[in-house]
Amino acid sequence: MNNDQFNQYDAQRLHQRVAQELGITADELQTWMVNDIERVTEGGKEVGHMVVFRESTPPEILDKLQHRQSQFTAMTGVIDHE
**How far is Cα 59 from Cα 78, in angstroms, rounded to an integer?**
26
Helix (H, G, I), strand (E, B) or coil at 55: coil
Q: What is the pLDDT of residues 41-78, one digit of tens each?
A: 899 888 899 999 999 999 999 999 999 999 999 999 98
- pLDDT confidence of residue 49: 93
What is the pLDDT at residue 44? 87
In the prediction, which pLDDT does 11 show? Answer: 79
Q: What is the pLDDT of residues 1-56, one digit of tens each?
A: 444 544 666 778 889 999 999 999 999 999 999 999 989 889 988 889 999 999 99
